[in-house]
Structure 1
């Protein structure tokens, strides 16, 4: 250990006493820091300077007319870009733009074609076309610039798409809002329609049954119309016969009325004569009774009595014949009334017949009494001689009979004058009026028969068309039935899935708010867990670690890892003695790099103290690796350090995420010290997660321990072989 310290102290003393060595060592300490600082500052905020990137814009859009409204999207885009500071926009023609792009004056060119607005206007057509925009980029100028210009082109298309979508959706939601208002007004009708559909669905079986029944009824109605048409001629004949019968009956009634008017005085005269005869007979019998009767003149008396009774019987018989004629006329009138189906006339005829029948019965009684009186007068004549004693009784009886007959004749005359004759005449008048009414009805029926015939014919034609329509409806009913059931099921399904009230409420949203929503439907709320202010701060871990490794590379390139004239020291003592010198210089390098990041560049970091400490630890591990490789392998070790530097720049994930690297670099990533050193420095810059810090420290420690083991135990045997190679290389005169 003492020899190790001697070697280290001698190096420090020589450095302090030799100004050239001190100057060189000072340069080696500061130089890695410059490498880190310049790179960090150069990449401090590259995307904040995109307004310095020239991009040509060519507008060839000629505009368009959509629904009588002129649009010019290209000109609107130019106006928007003039107010957009993200790029250095140059508005030129196509020729100038393409020429400057080829010469590298423009990084990219965007061309708006002449049909740009026209294609955007096809959004209202059945087959809308997408609008194209031409984008030309010169990738030869710079590898990163095309990515930045791509961002500018994407910003333009996003701006156009956002504005277009918001405008179109604004119009759409204006329409939706109007539809929502109309639906709200029509909601009762919609609900009523739903009920109609459900009621129709429920009544479909009954409707089908009614259609079938109606079709059957239509067929029956056709048969009935045919039969009715067949009966029209018969109705015409019957109507004609009825009119003829009524005319004949009216003529007969007129004759009967005339006949009644003719015989009425004769009847009145006969009745008065019968009444007079009855009175005379009664007076005669009274005289006979009051005076003594000479039966010797009995034959004469009986003959006189027979003559008077015979006259009375003749008069009664004459009256009976007249009444029977009237009764026969009444019966004929009744038959006519029955033919014309006049119920009132039939009732009146029956009443008149009853009165005439009653008068005939009374006359029959009178005639029978008179005949009885005539027979009694014969008995008087027969028995006058034998039964003279009974004559008075017979006369008394005859007197009573004649008095009764006289009374009945008086009553009949009164009834005839007051009831029978007026009733008969009134019935005849009513019968004539009834026949006149019936004739008018038959005339109307007769005049209506042609119209009835026309209606029946028209009805037959209409019924035929109706039957055809009913048959069509019957054929289409299964289809209608299925469709109604489908509509009803769909309505129930929609009612189960959605609420029309919610749909109306959705449609009635504010169109302006909806337009703003679709202009930017998703708003990104960025939450930085480990915020890093700028790109330069984000690249500080990579460039700082790279500078520490480069510092070690410079040391092993300029400083000797071996010490001549120290033959009394073992290889292990020389290894550790020189190692302390390299570590000391490396720690100074790391201190300056990390302190300069904090104080000179003002890199924002979460834990600057840990950043410095982690830098010192990384410098220690890197120096162990680089020094050991050169100390053990000599010039070959220097080549190893350079190869490791190249591999670690590409495969450590310092600039690009590891998952974006080729498979080879993803495979070697876990075996590179840079991978853990950069992660450790990122923890200090962004925010420490101690589990990751511990993970990185463990692997860095493994790399350092492996380097110490390699140098302590393999330096001597490997150096013996490497000396032969070194000697051989010097013999070539090409290597020192």
Structure 2
């Protein structure tokens, strides 16, 4: 009761404050403005299509078809004049273009000059479809272009029907002509049957005579086969003789030419063998000298080998000494470094002592005047200067020792390289000595071989002399054999030419007789088939005469009527059976715009009504929650009632169940109201921004206009998460489909949304202290 008392005080305060009461009253009509005005504007746009200006240009010149004038463009214009689909304007091409440029016409339909002439090419070898040019002014209004595209398809269908009717009338006229021709063809088929009987008798006689011819040709072919085989064998032998004699003559000629080249080569070889013999004598002398030189090389390499061994031993000793020098120089550098560091410390101490004595003398004039003190100060200064010079000399000595150590290391590395090189030199000299020994042995063998080769060269010279004499005699006999081979080749060629002609004649004779036998057999077979075909022709011509008579009778019964022509032009019609028919655009869009209006109305309510405060002083948190909730609930119920009444009785919306429509409208309005109340109560101004973002996502994902499947895939995932999805779907059920089970399911989901967000509002009031004075003033300023 205390909660109702707080609510009543808030209502009285609102009624007494015109600045608050009037906006609250206006806000109640927001859903009516959205749903009523939007739906009224788009309730039935196709009902006023006759007010949409469209230009029609007919440039068709007509054409002759089967002796009749075809004016398809003119027929199209007459059809359009009978319909009121658009506001037709029949103008010229120039007027249509000017009207499109000035946005006077939403689209233009142009019938080209060759429209009818192309329509007559159906039976041509290369038919050309007739075209209607459609020019929509899509930039002026996109939807009008889409509507025009659908209308042009209907126009094309109607024109196609008219052209098809013309074709059909022509075909049916031809059928009448065919009927008379079939009668005449029947008479001709009867005469053909008589001629086929006579052809059958002649074919029988021809078949018998051809059998006799086939038998004689077979016997002649058997007699020619032995003759053909003998001539073929003779020709093969002659061909082989020709080939062999030609090859022999060619080989003898080549052999004769080769013999001449061989004789010349033998002469050259004989002269060369003499020169070879003289050269071998000189080579023998050189080989003997080479053997003496290699002996000297063996002796010198042995001496060189002994010296290299001495060098290697000295290099080992040098490397050992340099390694010791490196160690000593390292120790020296280390000692000098330590001495240099000590000298530097002594110099620093002497300098400090000198500076201290000078400071002491300056601070005590009596001490400064004492000659002993003056000597002490002068001595300390001299010691400091000397120790500084000693330290500098020590540093130079240390640097020199370091350089000496580095040089010793480099010398040691060089000594290692020298030692390795001397060892490689000794190994090379050993190899050189071994090579000199082998070379000396080879030189001895070469001298021995030169002696043997010189003796062989003398024998070769004597042999070439005998070979030259034999080649001369062989050349004479080979020339005689080549002459005989040429004559034998000429005789073989003449024999092969004669037998080839004989074989060709025998082949032609055999082929002719074979062809005669095959031809006579084929003629006999053909005569048999001719006899069979003549029988079939006689039977078929009789049947043809009978069938042609029947066809003439049946085609004569075909009568051209308007109904038949129409059936040919449009043999198939579409019967549309709509499931859950929607009478107009307004009915289809009501779920979407009604949901939109209720959401926007709820959002506006949060602007004019305080969200957290109450006019009742000392009101508890829960009482303030109840007062705000009852206020928004009452405003939501009034908004829903007004919107439902306007849609049902103002726009004449037809629904399956009015009580369920009112109930679903109330639940939808409460759901949106409590969702927005929770957002703004918790977040204040940012909460209204969140509500607007939520509205935007709902408008794109609720499937209120386009099907859900046509939106981007990432948006589809938001569809089941937003409340407007279920309000749109539930309104469709109660308005168009009558699926009450789906409606109750959607209503239950909306109730879950409503209760959940109402609980969030309650949590805010129960967990937050009273707003600060600044917050109260902020709400009051907004409401003003």
Q: Is the 8 A contact 1:37 1:597 kept in 2?
A: yes
Alignment of 1:102-141 (within 5 A): 102-141=101-140
Instruction: Quote how far apart the aligned CAs of 1:169 are.
Output: 3.6
Partner deviation per Cα, 1:605-656 (whole Å, 9 max, x = no partner): 2322221121111111111111111112221211121112222222212222
Aligned residue for 1:109, secondary structure, equals strand
Alignment of 1:519-668 (within 5 A): 519-563=569-613, 571=621, 573-668=623-718
Residue number among 673, 678, 685 corresponding to 2:728 in the alignment: 678
Alignment of 1:395-434 (within 5 A): none
CA 1:67–1:528: 2 relative to 1, 3 Å? closer
Report the counterpart of residue 49 of structure 2 in structure 1. Answer: 50
Q: Is the 8 A contact 2:72 2:162 kept in 1?
A: no
Q: Is the 8 A contact 2:664 2:747 kept in 1?
A: no
Instruction: Quote how far apart the aligned CAs of 1:522 are.
Output: 3.4
Alignment of 1:256-271 (within 5 A): none
Report the counterpart of residue 81 of structure 2 in structure 1. Answer: 82
Whole-angstrom distance in 2 between the partners of 1:187 and 1:175: 18
Q: Is the 8 A contact 2:54 2:108 kept in 1?
A: yes
Whole-angstrom distance in 1 between the partners of 2:533 and 2:600: 84
CA 1:668–1:169: 2 relative to 1, 3 Å? farther
CA 1:593–1:212: 2 relative to 1, 3 Å? same
Residue number among 763, 768, 772 corresponding to 1:713 in the alignment: 763
CA 1:138–1:208: 2 relative to 1, 3 Å? same
Aligned residue for 1:525, secondary structure, equals coil
Alignment of 1:490-505 (within 5 A): none
Whole-angstrom distance in 1 between the partners of 2:14 and 2:580: 44
Q: Is the 8 A contact 2:73 2:111 kept in 1?
A: yes
Instruction: Quote how far apart the aligned CAs of 1:12 are.
Output: 2.1
CA 1:138–1:481: 2 relative to 1, 3 Å? farther
Instruction: Quote how far apart the aligned CAs of 1:592 are.
Output: 0.7
Report the counterpart of residue 97 of structure 2 in structure 1. Answer: 98
Whole-angstrom distance in 2 between the partners of 1:663 and 1:37: 32
Report the counterpart of residue 154 of structure 2 in structure 1. Answer: 155
Instruction: Quote how far apart the aligned CAs of 1:21 are.
Output: 3.0
Q: TM-score by structure 2 length?
A: 0.51
Which stretch has the larger CA shift, 520-529 or 58-67? Answer: 520-529
Whole-angstrom distance in 2 between the partners of 1:107 and 1:471: 83
Report the counterpart of residue 201 of structure 1 in structure 2. Answer: none
Q: Is the 8 A contact 1:180 1:508 kept in 2?
A: no
CA 1:734–1:687: 2 relative to 1, 3 Å? closer
Q: Is the 8 A contact 1:65 1:71 kept in 2?
A: yes
CA 1:219–1:689: 2 relative to 1, 3 Å? closer
CA 1:181–1:45: 2 relative to 1, 3 Å? farther
Report the counterpart of residue 443 of structure 1 in structure 2. Answer: none
Highest Rg: 1 or 2?
Answer: 1
Instruction: Quote how far apart the aligned CAs of 1:31 are.
Output: 3.1
Instruction: Quote how far apart the aligned CAs of 1:172 are.
Output: 3.6
Instruction: Quote how far apart the aligned CAs of 1:574 are.
Output: 3.2
Report the counterpart of residue 338 of structure 2 in structure 1. Answer: none
Report the counterpart of residue 275 of structure 1 in structure 2. Answer: none
Instruction: Quote how far apart the aligned CAs of 1:511 are.
Output: 5.9
CA 1:569–1:590: 2 relative to 1, 3 Å? same
Partner deviation per Cα, 1:331-356 (whole Å, 9 max, x = no partner): xxxxxxxxxxxxxxxxxxxxxxxxxx
- Does 2:21 correspond to 1:25? no
Alignment of 1:243-642 (within 5 A): 512-563=562-613, 571=621, 573-642=623-692
Residue number among 741, 745, 752 corresponding to 1:691 in the alignment: 741
Whole-angstrom distance in 2 between the partners of 1:162 and 1:712: 70
- Does 2:214 correspond to 1:215? no
Aligned residue for 2:134, secondary structure, equals strand
Whole-angstrom distance in 2 between the partners of 1:734 and 1:588: 23
- Does 2:754 correspond to 1:700? no
Q: Is the 8 A contact 1:55 1:106 kept in 2?
A: yes
Aligned residue for 2:138, secondary structure, equals coil
CA RMSD, 1 decimal: 4.8
Larger relative contact order (CA 8 Å, sep ≥ 6): 2
Instruction: Quote how far apart the aligned CAs of 1:105 are.
Output: 0.3
Q: Is the 8 A contact 1:32 1:589 kept in 2?
A: yes
Q: Is the 8 A contact 2:680 2:688 kept in 1?
A: yes
Whole-angstrom distance in 2 between the partners of 1:587 and 1:705: 16
Partner deviation per Cα, 1:468-513 (whole Å, 9 max, x = no partner): 99777557689999999xx9xxxxxxxxxxxx99xx89x9697643
Instruction: Quote how far apart the aligned CAs of 1:25 are.
Output: 1.8
Whole-angstrom distance in 2 between the partners of 1:589 and 1:171: 68
CA 1:649–1:579: 2 relative to 1, 3 Å? same
Instruction: Quote how far apart the aligned CAs of 1:665 are.
Output: 3.5
Whole-angstrom distance in 2 between the partners of 1:577 and 1:480: 114
- Does 2:3 correspond to 1:8? no
Whole-angstrom distance in 1 between the partners of 2:533 and 2:24: 97
Whole-angstrom distance in 1 between the partners of 2:568 and 2:139: 38
Instruction: Quote how far apart the aligned CAs of 1:29 are.
Output: 1.1
Q: TM-score by structure 1 length?
A: 0.54
CA 1:689–1:479: 2 relative to 1, 3 Å? farther
Whole-angstrom distance in 2 between the partners of 1:689 and 1:570: 45
Whole-angstrom distance in 2 between the partners of 1:12 and 1:658: 43
Q: Is the 8 A contact 2:609 2:783 kept in 1?
A: no
Instruction: Quote how far apart the aligned CAs of 1:669 are.
Output: 2.1
Instruction: Quote how far apart the aligned CAs of 1:187 are.
Output: 11
Aligned residue for 2:43, secondary structure, equals coil
Q: Is the 8 A contact 2:54 2:88 kept in 1?
A: yes
Show structure 2 runs of 5+ residues with no match. Answer: 218-515, 538-549
Whole-angstrom distance in 1 between the partners of 2:723 and 2:151: 38
Task: Give the count of matched residue pairs.
Answer: 464
Q: Is the 8 A contact 1:3 1:577 kept in 2?
A: no
Q: Is the 8 A contact 2:214 2:520 kept in 1?
A: no
CA 1:18–1:564: 2 relative to 1, 3 Å? closer
